[in-house]
A = this chain, B = another copy of it.
Amino acid sequence: MSTSSVTIFGSGNMGTAIADLARRAGRTVQHIGSADADAQVTGDLVVLAVPHPALDQIVSAYGDQLADRTVVDITNPLDFSTFDSLVVPADASRAAELAAAVPGAKVLKAFNTNFAATLGSGQVGEQPTTVLVAGDDAEAKQDLLDLVTAAGLHAVDAGALKRARELEALGFLQLTLAAGDQIGWTGGFAVVR
């Protein structure tokens, strides 16, 4: 299954970068912003490219429409007031919480370990940008892996949705390193095969 249409919530730097990837992969893109009340979701693949505090509101307004679709969580659920912990249970993930809140949706975790600039340039320093994707639905996961590679980036299957815990830990660590000037926002963890 290749989803021809992608719906993207959020028009920040991540939403913009992921929309660009989708177009480069030949998909059509629908944007839904916070000002669009009662929009009709048209994409079979839905990317929630919003900060984690906005997820609940989207689920509340669009949950019924998300069932049966592939839903991609890209968030890093940091406590933004301290930058020292996550706001999800330590043995779980924001993606797992989302999957519980939207029954029937095929939830994937992806893009949370990629800084926006590296999605646009296709490079982490001099390494190719790799998107790590975790999820329980093999077909949905393969479709997103295909989109990423069709857009010219590398993609790696990071396992079941349970691995979202580790992906969120990696994203968290990467953000703390960048915030502390240990790495730049065009750098980060490159996946070397």
Contacts and interface: CB of A to CB of B under 8 A. Distances in A.
Interface of A: 84, 89-91, 124-127, 156-159, 162-163, 165-167, 169-170, 172-173, 176-177, 180, 182-184, 187-193
Contact of A127 (B162, B169, B183, B190): B190
Contacts of A90: 89-91, 165
Given A125-B127, A127-B192, A187-B192, 9 more contacts: A84-B162, A156-B182, A157-B182, A158-B182, A166-B172, A167-B173, A169-B170, A183-B193, A189-B191
This chain's copy number in the assembly: 2
Contacts of A188: 191-192
Given A157-B182, A159-B180, A163-B176, A189 B190 contact: yes
